[in-house]
Each structure stands twice: as structure tokens, then as C-alpha cells.
Structure 1
Amino acid sequence: MTLTAPATAPPAAPPAPPRRRVRPLRVLLHVFLGLVALGWLLPLALSVYASLRPYDETARLGYFSLPEQLTFGYYEQAWTQAELPRYYLNTLIIVIPGVLVTLLLASFTAFAIARLRIPGRRTLLIVFAAGNLLPPQVLITPLYTLYTMVPLPAWLSDSQSLYDSYVGLILVHVAFQFGFCVFVMANFMRTIPEEINEAALVDGAGVWKRYWRLTLPLCRPVLAALGTLQFTWMYNDFLWALVLMSSGDKLPVTSALNNLRGQFFTDYNLLAAGSLLVALPTLIVFQLLHKQFVAGLTLGSTKG
């Protein structure tokens, strides 16, 4: 007599995951965001399309028409006619020191507000935040007068004043971006656990070591985010360079587009190609730092 094992039932199939109910508000939100993204991308796509077509073709057929010929000739013409390499260098001379000095001074101040028990630190932070609400246009006349009166040595400025000098343009960028950076960095530093600072204090770390060796390395995401924003804002500036500089060979790259305008006629397809070449460095910087940029914006959004 042989014993047989009882038959086992096949394993039951896993239950199907419940279908998520489509919410009308979520659908409307996605449609709205898609339309906003399309509204931002459409002018850029139209500029790229126009820069690849001859002007006589668009003048004859219109910008919203199928192309008969596509060429990169306008990009080469814009590169040489607008003298972009020289203006790129002028912009880097202004933007790189401006970004570094702004972040360095803002991190000093934010550390003092967030980590040191100084009197009136909350009021000071409110003052920095309120400074961002002041329109820079109302200060054009006082700043212009002040810049012509402040002397500088000849090796810093050919005009021997802050006016028409790289130093003056760097200072105005630092002054106007300083408050925003302090406000963001101080709120970010408050999210760092206080126990880290107290442990370093018990170990005998001074203020400088707590700032440079402990706090600043933890602020890399917000530094990357602010660095990206500051580079973009300073790079795209046209107002202050126009007001506070007069030498054409010192102007930043945003003013190079004026070299593509004729006295009686403007080739807007050529101008579109030049605009895209001018905007290219900001796109490269954002692409290189976009992960740190997003992390810096979201990591300090909550405390604890």
C-alpha cells in the first residue's frame, strides 16, 4: 500500500491592483501646466526655426510656413558680426566674481543670523527680505551720480571712478542680489540640526571652523541652486550695464545684439540666431547643475 501526498491547490493569483480614480482637478492641473510649458517653449522653438531660414524666405512666405531651405549660416554670421567671443569674456569678468562674492558674503551673514545668537537677528532677516521688494529702477539716477563721484585707481578703472568700470558693475550686482541670497541661505541653515553645531562647540570648534568646516559643506545644494540663479540673473542683465558703463568694448554679451541691428533694416532671423547664441551659456550652466538646483530648492522647504 502506497501513500500519496494530498493534492495541493495552485497558488492564488495576486489580486489586481485597484485602479486609481482619475480626478478631474488633477487632469485640469496637468492641462494647465502643459499649456504654460507650451507657452514658454513656443517662442524658443519659433526662434530656432526662424534662425535656420533665410530672411527673404520668411518675408515672402511668413514665419509660420514650411521651409524651402534650412541653413546654419546665420549662426556663423552672428558669431563674427556681433563679436561674441569678446563680449562673452566681458560677461565672465563681471559674472564670475559677482556670483562668488555674493554667495560668500551671503553665507557669512546667513550663518550669523541662523547659528549665532545675535540680538535683532529676526529683524535683520526681515530687512534683507524687504530689500528685495525695492525696484532697482528708482535708484538709477542716485547710483549714476554716486558712481561718477567715487574715485578708483587707474589700474582698476580707466575713468578713475566707479563709473564705466567692471568693479562698479560687480558691486551693483552684489548689492542687489545679496538680500535674496541671505534670506534663502538663512532659512536653509535653520533646517540643519542644532545638535551638530552644539557638538562642534563642545569639541572646542570656533566660529570660523563651525562655519567653514561644518555648516558650509552641508549647504552645497542651496549654494548650487543660488549659484545657478545668480549666474542667470547677472548674465542676463542689460539695464545696469547700459546705465553704468559707456565704453563699448567693456559691455556684457547682452549688449552685443545691438551689433546685429542695421541702421535702416534689421534681419530678425539673424537676430534670432544671435539671441540663441547669447542664451546658450545659461542653458549649459542650468543643465550641468539642474540636479543640485532642484535639491537646493526642495531640501530647505521644510524644517525638521
Structure 2
Amino acid sequence: MYPRPIPKTARGLRAAYMTLVVAILLLWLAPLFAIMLTSVRAASDIATGNLWGWPTAFGLVDNYVGVFTQTPMARFFVNSLLITVPSVVFVLALSTLAGFVLSKFTFRGSMVLFAIFIGGNFLPAQIMMIPVRDLMVKLGLYDTTWALIIFHTAFQTGFATLFMRNFIAARPKELFDAARAEGASPAQILMHVVVPLVRPALAALAILLFTFIWNDYFWAVVLTISDSVKPVTADLANLRGQYVSAWNTISAATVIVAVPPVIMFFLMQRHFIAGLTMGAVKG
């Protein structure tokens, strides 16, 4: 059930609606605006407590350059990429395979297996902290990038499989029947029928997964200790000093950390739109 559109004749109601939308939007954007404004302030503004007013002096270049010259942010960026990119690739591959099998093949226990994938999404991550940490210690993977890659792959595959299974199940059954009639094997159907059809789903899922994994802080702290392994989210917490914090540098680092997911979105947007406009059935 969709909300009814507001009639054009109800000018008062439309004006109240637009006012409410603008107010909520400003409230939502206020913290982001404050961070971006603080990231260009000079240190003198921070020292005098000018956090919300217009900057009296700008330190745009000094703040953003200082993120990489005064902190080891570049190394943590590389760590985040080494963790996020393989995790996204592994999850996309596993969820596409699992989603294809669970949507197009019927076998004993298939619904139980699908329920397990779904049930994993309802487990709070915090209750798995000690078991996962102990498992990584026993496997000798604790405080390595592989610990985070394996965990994120396992933890995100449940949601991704649910996403892909429902998307593949909604594809026309006639396409798969025609492929089988032509003698295509399940692997050929997957590569030549399923993958081209699910490109929009893969693009959307890749954006979500990249954002989830890149912004993860909890498991970055639980499964890593040394700075040579920690991702960029853990480094942001380390930028705060015990007595004095350079909030202009921290804000600049926060803005920089938010850039890769935005770039990921614009890179995948073209494939997302192209996949949506592809026609799979003629007639």
C-alpha cells in the first residue's frame, strides 16, 4: 500500500509537507555539515571553541595534507582496501552460487539450508565476539587481514544469499528452460544466463557490501591489534589524544574515509543502470 499523493489543490498541506521535509533534511545533514566545516578550520578556531560558527581562518590544505603527513593514514587506507575488496569479491561469488542453487534447484533440506542463511542475519554480532576471536587465535589468523576477510565473508554471505536468491528466483522461468533445452549445463546457465541477468543486483549488492565492510569498526578492534593490520576506521579512533585532540585533522580524516564508498557508488552506478535497461525476453 503506497501513500496517497497530496492533491495540488491542498496548498496548505503541500506547504506543510515540504517544510517538514526540509526541516528533517537539515537536521540529518547538520552533523555532516559540521564535520566538513570543521575539516577546513584552522587550529586557532578549534582552540577558541568556534565549532559551529563560520571559520575565521581556513586551514583546508594544512588539514587534509596533515592527515597523510602527520598520521599513518595512508597505510591504514591500504589495509582497508586489502580487507574490503577481497571480502566483497568472495561474498558476491558465494552468494551468487548459493542463490542460484537455492532458487532453481529443489533438493532435500534446501529450505532448511535457506533458513540457516536467513537466521544468521538475526544474530547480533556482539554475541559472536569471543567465539570468533578464539577461533581466529586457534587458526593462527588473529591480528591478520585474513581474519577480517574470512569473518566479513562469512557474516555477509547470509544477507547476500537472501538478496541474490530472491532476485534470481524472480527471473523468467522460460529462460532457464530454454537454456536446458539447448543442452546447457548448470555452470553454463550460471555464467551465460544468470550472471548477465543479475548485474543490477550484483552492482547494488557490491555497493552495500563495500560500505558495510569499509565502515566496520567493531570487528576491526576485536580481531586486530597491530597498526600494520588495522583498517582505517580503527585509525580514526587513535587520532584522538588523551588530553588534546586536533579536531580539524580528525574531521578531515573522517571526510577522506567517507570518499571511497562514494566513489564505489559512482563507479558501479553505470553498471547498475545498464543492467536495469537490458531486456532479457523479447516479444
- Give TM class, smaller chain: 0.7 to 0.9
- Larger mean Cα displacement after TM superposition, 257-266 or 39-48: 257-266
Cα distance in 2 for partners of 1:33, 1:76 equals 37
What's the counterpart of residue 118 of structure 1?
Answer: 107
What's the counterpart of residue 232 of structure 1?
Answer: 211
Please state how far the C-alpha of 1:121 moved relative to its aligned partner: 2.9
Query: Which letter does structure 2 place at the counterpart of 1:71?
Result: G
Deviations 1:30-55 (A, max 9, x none): 54443333233221111111111123
1:265 alignment partner, one of 237, 240, 244: 244
Contact 1:129/1:183 (8 A) holds in 2: yes
Larger Cα-atom Rg: 1
Q: Which residues in structure 2 correspond to 1:160-239 (within 5 Å)?
A: 161-239=140-218
Deviations 1:228-256 (A, max 9, x none): 01001111111112111122111111122
What's the counterpart of residue 40 of structure 1?
Answer: 28
1:108 alignment partner, one of 97, 101, 113: 97
Contact 2:63/2:252 (8 A) holds in 1: yes
TM-score by length of 2: 0.87
Deviations 1:128-185 (A, max 9, x none): 22211100100111111111112xxxxxxxxxx1211211110100111001000011
What's the counterpart of residue 223 of structure 2?
Answer: 244
Q: Closer, same or farther in 2 for the Cα pair 1:294/1:175, shift >3 Å?
A: farther
Q: CA RMSD in A?
A: 2.4
Q: Closer, same or farther in 2 for the Cα pair 1:42/1:106, shift >3 Å?
A: same
1:142 alignment partner, one of 128, 131, 147: 131
Query: Which letter does structure 2 place at the counterpart of 1:131?
Result: G
Please state how far the C-alpha of 1:56 moved relative to its aligned partner: 2.5
1:78 alignment partner, one of 56, 67, 78: 67
Q: Give structure 1 stretches of 5+ with no counterpart.
A: 1-18, 151-160, 300-304
Cα distance in 2 for partners of 1:30, 1:129 equals 38
Query: Which letter does structure 2 place at the counterpart of 1:181?
Result: A
Contact 1:109/1:182 (8 A) holds in 2: yes
Please state how far the C-alpha of 1:88 moved relative to its aligned partner: 1.1
Please state how far the C-alpha of 1:59 moved relative to its aligned partner: 3.8
SS in 1 for 2:228: helix
What's the counterpart of residue 81 of structure 2?
Answer: 92
What's the counterpart of residue 302 of structure 1?
Answer: none
Q: Closer, same or farther in 2 for the Cα pair 1:256/1:289, shift >3 Å?
A: same
Please state how far the C-alpha of 1:287 moved relative to its aligned partner: 2.6
Deviations 1:70-107 (A, max 9, x none): 22111111122222221111111111110000010010
Cα distance in 1 for partners of 2:274, 2:124 equals 29
Q: Closer, same or farther in 2 for the Cα pair 1:125/1:293, shift >3 Å?
A: farther
Compare the two structures and name the one with the higher helix fraction: 2
Aligned length: 270
Query: Which letter does structure 2 place at the counterpart of 1:45?
Result: F
Query: Which letter does structure 1 place at the counterpart of 2:91?
Result: T
Cα distance in 1 for partners of 2:198, 2:209 equals 16
Please state how far the C-alpha of 1:260 moved relative to its aligned partner: 2.5
Query: Which letter does structure 1 place at the counterpart of 2:98?
Result: T
Does residue 62 in structure 1 map to residue 50 in structure 2? yes
Q: Give structure 2 stretches of 5+ with no counterpart.
A: 1-6, 279-283
Q: Closer, same or farther in 2 for the Cα pair 1:289/1:59, shift >3 Å?
A: same
Query: Which letter does structure 1 place at the counterpart of 2:89?
Result: L
